[in-house]
Amino acid sequence: MQTELAKKLGIEFPIFAFTHCRDVVVAVSKAGGFGVLGAVGFTPEQLETELTWIDEHIGDLPYGVDIVIPGKYEGMGEGDAEKLEADLRALIPEQHRQFVQKILADHDVPEVPDEEKMQELLGWTEATAGPQVQVALSHPKVKLLANALGTPPPDVIEEIHAAGRLVAAPCGAPSQAVRHVNAGVDIVIAQGTEGGGHTGDIGSMVLWPEVLDVLGDTPMLAAGGIGSGRQMAAALAMGAQGVWTGSLWLTVEEADVPPAQMQSLLDATARDTVRSRSWTGKPCRMLRNEWTDAWEAEGNPKPLGMPMQFMVTSNAVQRGHKYPEQAKDVNFNPVGQIVGRMNKMRPTRDVIFDMVCECIDATERMTNLMQQSLED
Ligand SMILES: Cc1cc2nc3c(=O)[nH]c(=O)nc-3n(C[C@H](O)[C@H](O)[C@H](O)COP(=O)(O)O)c2cc1C
């Protein structure tokens, strides 16, 4: 099952797994796939700690890091992270901050102590993600850097290429794929609207072949709604060089998802997600709950742009992490429609193994069909 890209990266199966959890990165790469650590929640120092841990546990296997530099955001082009944060903070209406406080107070979600409060801006801009790139590149087993939410800036692409690593970027429409290729991106991740996290509005079945048709020789990874070997076989049959998955790894045994949040995921059906701007300012697929409904209700404040909306909600994210039981109806729960099939916690190894077996079965079914048609 080695596609050209899998060979290039030295992996057994073309299954790429986005996760915020270092244990999952290691488990995926050890099972023959390619683990990718989402860096957005880490300061450069924390990222260094996570990558050092991965290096110590992953053996000689490769893995990736995902950063977030949106193509467009408020304050774009300003280099100094602290100044940018202060300037943006001044633009946030007090009404938005009060609304967040009210939603959490109505659900009795406690405050986090002042000394534990995290930075509001995080790695959502070039100024904050730049140092993360340098940290990632100082780890030789990091063979790929992905950038969410847009074409990475030219200097970032140059820096990654100069270090001999590959650059990947997601798209939700063919025009974005063309922009990525023209900028020198090595791998395009075509993510259909079904996917968890930030996502566009075109379904995977329509998007993947449209993107493949404009890509030329640049490899495409198929994303959005992939949770089984049958879906993987469909993506490979269309011409994808692999699958890029995210939701699936939230309910593996190695994931560090708190029990209350895990239960919401295990219970959810494919109809329980919504694309909402209420946490980050850009459309993001997540479990629908009282928080997402509140931001849609008439008369309530509307979400701000990125990164300001996350500056308003970052404290709520932290409170949700610290008190998942109290926050279970108002928590940030990004996940895709494939959540409907994620009904049981399973070891990462089994998830990969089953996906590969099912993909082989689906391929055999197609081959038999062709053979039978020839014989008839
Ligand atoms: C909990 C969660 C958080 C995500 N955060 C990011 C992120 O920070 N950066 C990114 O490039 N993609 C992020 N994604 C999207 C994934 O990389 C991937 O494209 C998506 O999950 C694929 O669709 P699927 O969820 O149907 O597998 C996230 C997805 C989930 C489920």
Provide the CA 363 distance to its chain's centre, in angstroms.
Answer: 28
Q: What is the domain count for the chain?
A: 1
- In short, whether 40's Cβ falls inside 6 Å of ligand 1 is yes
Could you give the CA distance from residue 135 to residue 207 in angstroms, rounded to a whole number? 34
- Ligand 1 centroid–CA 366 distance in Å is 30
Are 304 and 278 contacting, i.e. CB atoms less than 8 angstroms apart?
no
Low-confidence ranges of the chain (pLDDT < 70): 70-81, 119-127
Going by C-alpha positions, the residue among 131, 143, 106, 342 that lies closest to residue 228 is 342
Q: What is the pLDDT of residue 83?
A: 78
Question: Which residue's alpha carbon is nearest to atom 11 within ligand 1?
Answer: 148
Q: What is the pLDDT of residue 307?
A: 83
Q: Parallel, antiparallel, or unpaired: how do β-strands 273-276 and 187-191 relate?
A: unpaired
Question: What DSSP string describes 191-239?
Answer: E-TTSSEE--SS-HHHHHHHHHHHHTTS-EEEESS--SHHHHHHHHHHT
Nearest-5° angle of CA 184, CA 185, CA 187? 145
Length of the chain: 376
Q: What is the pLDDT of residue 15?
A: 98
Q: Which of 15, 18, 124, 244 to mutate to test the pocket of ligand 1 (most atoms within 8 A of CB)?
A: 18
Question: Which residue's alpha carbon is nearest to atom 20 within ligand 1?
Answer: 246
- Give the pLDDT confidence of 55-105 residue by residue, as tens digits: 999 999 999 999 987 665 566 555 566 777 788 888 899 999 999 999 999
- Ligand 1 centroid–CA 371 distance in Å is 38
Q: What is the pLDDT of residue 84?
A: 77
Range of the domain at 225: 4-375
- In short, whether 68's Cβ falls inside 6 Å of ligand 1 is yes
Q: What is the pLDDT of residue 124?
A: 60
Give me the residues paired with residue 244 across strands.
Answer: 16, 223
Q: What is the pLDDT of residue 129?
A: 78
Could you give the CA distance from residue 360 to residue 177 in angstroms, rounded to a whole number? 29
Structure-block tokens of residue 84: 């940018």
Q: What is the pLDDT of residue 104?
A: 96
Q: What is the pLDDT of residue 123?
A: 56
- In short, whether 228's Cβ falls inside 6 Å of ligand 1 is no
- In short, whether 35's Cβ falls inside 6 Å of ligand 1 is no
Q: What is the pLDDT of residue 328?
A: 92
Q: Report the nearest atom of ligand 1 relative to the CA of 338.
A: 26
Q: What is the pLDDT of residue 375?
A: 86
- In short, whether 64's Cβ falls inside 6 Å of ligand 1 is no
Name the strands in the sheet holding 284-287, side by side, starting at the edge strand that comes first in the sequence.
Answer: 197-198, 284-287, 273-276
- In short, whether 338's Cβ falls inside 6 Å of ligand 1 is yes
**Residues in Cβ contact with 273 at an 8 Å cutoff, skipping those fewer than 6 apart:** 196, 285, 286, 287, 288, 335, 336, 337, 339
Q: What is the pLDDT of residue 76?
A: 58
Q: What is the pLDDT of residue 122?
A: 56
- In short, whether 146's Cβ falls inside 6 Å of ligand 1 is yes
Q: What is the pLDDT of residue 68?
A: 84
DSSP designation for 334: B
Could you give the CA distance from residue 285 to residue 32 in angstroms, rounded to a whole number? 28
Structure-block tokens of residue 190: 């075509």
CATH number, residue 33? 3.20.20.70
pTM: 0.94
Structure-block tokens of residue 353: 């193994």
Coil/strand/helix, residue 277: coil
Coil/strand/helix, residue 346: strand
Could you tell me the CA-to-CA distances from 32 to 51, 180, 352 in Å, in that order?
Answer: 19, 28, 8
Are 210 and 174 contacting, i.e. CB atoms less than 8 angstroms apart?
yes
